[in-house]
Structure 1
Amino acid sequence: MSHPDPRDPLGFDDLLDDEDRAVRETIRAWCQDRVTPHVADWYEAGELPAVRELARELGAIGALGMHLEGYGCAGATAVQYGLACLELEAADSGLRSLVSVQGSLAMYALHRWGSEEHKQHWLPRMAAGEVIGCFGLTEPDHGSDPGALRTSARREGTDWVLNGRKMWITNGSVAGVAVVWARTDDGIRGFVVPTNTPGFSAPEIKHKGSLRASVTSELVLDDVRLPADAVLPEVRGLRGPLSCLNQARYGIVWGALGAARTCLETARTYSTTREQFGRPIGGFQLTQAKLADMSLELNKGLLLALHLGRRMDTGSLRPEQVSYGKLNSVRVAIEIARTSRTILGANGISHEYPIMRHSANLESVLTYEGTPEMHQLVIGKVLTGQDAFR
């Protein structure tokens, strides 16, 4: 038997088909060409330059809304979308966030809950990367409790008038369309808001210590007047935004493991060349124990992600199961990033290596799309039947 591949010791690739691997290699090659050589500089500068150009390139390789059907979308499987998220976040969490917000939040909301006019008007251009979308749910005072949101939409004649603030919105200041959730007399509703509508603005949030190679914004809505057909017609209440969040959380299940993989592979390679006491540090027992534990957790996470992806492809994936995946993947990824840093010693804090960047990014991934505490309580309700949220 041949020697096991240290990058795939359990033979995970054997569980994928040729099309799965082809999708993964397309995304990986694009990231290695367009992102990896530059992302450390972007991160230090606190910007994602040429984001609209990158979006068009991502559209050209079918990465935007790739798991959706029709309207110019690729119609990929959930597993293939997951593999794409893994490769994107292996480059940088900010890049995966760009794609997740575009496809799993903004485009999914339109595809699942929008009118046919909404779909025809927006989705083909969003799939091509010609229009960037954002998703306005989180508010300055309401993150984990979206049911308490304050942004309002009132009727004036046949129009809707929106007022409120949204916070921590990926893609906000570069978006051409925003899906905004607001409180109405008829419950929480979603609205399709072209960002050139008078009264809408999206100041970019600066001075971030995480997701620095990503566009993060506030959304400000001051008497934003929309026509009657701007509302998403097919949903009322929290079912709408939560269904979108479930899609995004699924992408994180895979994506966080991509960041972990990059950290582990950096540490493993470093351990074979860095010498102390006259030998590579990878030959010492404590270093091997760290590498073994990290590899174990990463590969368990990949098997769980694949299981969830196949359930999604058969239509049997439950939101509670996504919570298992999101909670596990991010926990594992953060621990792998921190342990990998110790193997590199002082070099681990240098942006010459990707570990500290991934470690900082994962602190954001830990709490967005549901904090670990919220996912623990989702799982706790499954196990006890008791709702601890209220």
Structure 2
Amino acid sequence: MPDRAPQQVDRQLPTDEARELISLVRDIAQREIAPKAAEEEDAGHFPREVFALLSASGLLGLPYDAEYGGGEQPYEVYLQVLEELAAARLTVGLGVSVHTLASYALAAYGTKEQQVEHLPAILGGGLLGAYCLSEPSSGSDAASLRTKAVRDGDHWVITGTKAWITHGGIADFYTVMARTGEEGPRGITAFLVPADADGVSAAPPEKKMGMKGSPTAQVHFDGVRVPDGRRIGEEGQGFAIALSALDSGRLGIAACAIGLAQSALDEAVAYATGREQFGRPIADFQGLRFMLADMATQIEAGRALYLAAARLRDTGRPFAKQAAMAKLHCTDTAMRVTTDAVQILGGYGYTADFPAERYMREAKVLQIVEGTNQIQRMVIARHVAGPETR
């Protein structure tokens, strides 16, 4: 059955412009995204037309400078937009987050000339990006990546394979981390690679338990020549750029997780208040009421956590620890809440006639992408207790 339109969260937004923005996003989500979500996810359809609409509406560059076509919105607002989109369909919310992640290196570390040349098309010209860090043999240990970029005059020749790439095969550009020097993190450099460059190809999309509408694929770089003008930052700065991007990207995943959890709660509440057993709605039974109360509390706590981290970022203060906490808590919350939603719907929750089972399948990947939750715990522990002694 079609997804139910999500309840409108009572948001505390800093400006009238932000309130108008959220109103626009809700309209697009309820009119263009939610009604088709179940059918298109089942068919494995990626809604490129929705991303074209989001780009034309100024929603693919929200946290970036207006000078280059961005929305110049604080992260506090941008993340709430992501939550609204993910509540309608996770493929869309996560896709916007990944595009923002892929745009980060150029927006934060590119030269003025690079930004003038490339950012307008990326932020508002209908292009879609992908972020290429992980490889078949280096996931959590990203600093051991093997993709190489070798200098050849005023060009670089990139060779290697990236894995688990969201938008792999459909992106218009790839932000690629490649080894240009010594082993370890100090030998990695970032590049902006057009998807139509000779030697770029993608494997067939992975067959996944959820997020079937969002293609995830290996991307191969077979002697791809890119000019030095597409190198982002200094040689050897790529890993630092990648980690900085991930701090912000983890907040995007946190917001998407809360949007998904909110939709699962809405579905559970609607079912529990409408389903009668023993002569009354099952929402009257204490066992279910307490489950709903716990679900709602976890969601509100997660929303507060990601917004607190966003406000730190917006004021220029360190936020890496809080970003890891938000990613950890919000994605674990999404897994718990979607699992409880299936339980509340009972047998119906296990069928594809209701979206609860899809929400549960989709939630799992959020505990894995952009740093597994085990990695988040390591990051948090280092901030709390200092680095490991060995």
Superposition deviation, residue 12 in structure 1: 5.5
Q: Which residue of structure 2 aligns with residue 258 of structure 1?
A: 259
Counterpart CA distance in 2 for 1:35 and 1:164 is 36
SS at match of 2:160: strand
Whether contact under 8 Å (1:92, 1:358) holds in the other structure is no
TM norm structure 2 = 0.92
Matched residue, 1:229: 229
Which SS does the other structure have where 1:238 is aligned?
helix
Secondary structure at 1:265's aligned position in 2?
A: helix
Name the amino acid aligned to 2:42.
E
Question: Which whole-Å deviations, capped at 9, do the CAs of 1:113-136 have from their partners, x for residues lacking one?
Answer: 222232222211122242111111
Name the counterpart of 1:141. 137
Of residues 4, 20, 30 in structure 1, which corresponds to 2:28? 30
How far residue 16 of structure 1 moved from its aligned partner, in angstroms, is 5.3
Deviation of the 1:308 alpha carbon = 1.5
**Secondary structure of the equivalent of 2:289?**
helix
1:76 aligns with 2:70: no
Identity of aligned residues (%): 35
Q: Please report the RMSD computed on the Cα atoms of aligned residues, expressed in angstroms.
A: 1.9
Choose 197-206 or 247-256, whichever is displaced more: 197-206
Native 8 Å contact 1:58 1:129 kept in 2: no
Paired position in structure 2 for 1:95: 92
1:305-316 alignment, distance < 5 Å? 305-316=306-317
Contact 1:56 1:128 in 2 (8 A): no
Q: Aligned partner of 2:93: which letter?
A: R
How far off is 1:234 after superposition?
4.4
What is the CA distance between 1:300 and its match in structure 2? Answer: 1.3
1:174 aligned counterpart, secondary structure: coil
Q: State the alpha-carbon separation in 1 of the partners of residues 319 and 73 from structure 2.
A: 20
Q: Is the 8 A contact 2:94 2:256 kept in 1?
A: no
Q: Deviations over 1:316-347 (max 9, x none)?
A: 14211100111000011110110011111111
Query: Which ranges of structure 2 fall in alignment gaps of 5 or more residues?
Result: 1-6
Structure 1 segment 289-300 matched on structure 2, within 5 A: 289-300=290-301
Candidates 51, 55, 60, aligned match of 2:51:
55
1:221-248 deviations in Å (ceiling 9; x for gaps): 1111122222113461411111111111
Which runs of no fewer than 5 residues in structure 1 stay unpaired?
Answer: 1-6
Equivalent in 160, 174, 181 of residue 170 of structure 2: 174
TM-superposed CA distance for 1:158, in Å, is: 2.5
Q: How far does residue 256 in structure 1 lie from its aligned partner after superposition?
A: 0.5
**Cα distance in 2 for residues equivalent to 1:349 and 1:119:** 48
How many residues are paired up? 379
**Cα-to-partner distance string for 1:128-172 (whole Å, 9 max, x where unaligned):** 242111111110111111100000011122221110000111112
Contact 1:341 1:356 in 2 (8 A): yes
Residues 115 and 234 of structure 1 are in contact (CA less than 8 Å); yes or no, is this contact kept in structure 2? no
Which whole-Å CA distance do the structure 1 matches of 2:261 and 2:213 have between them? 18
Residue 114 (1) aligns with residue 115 (2) = no
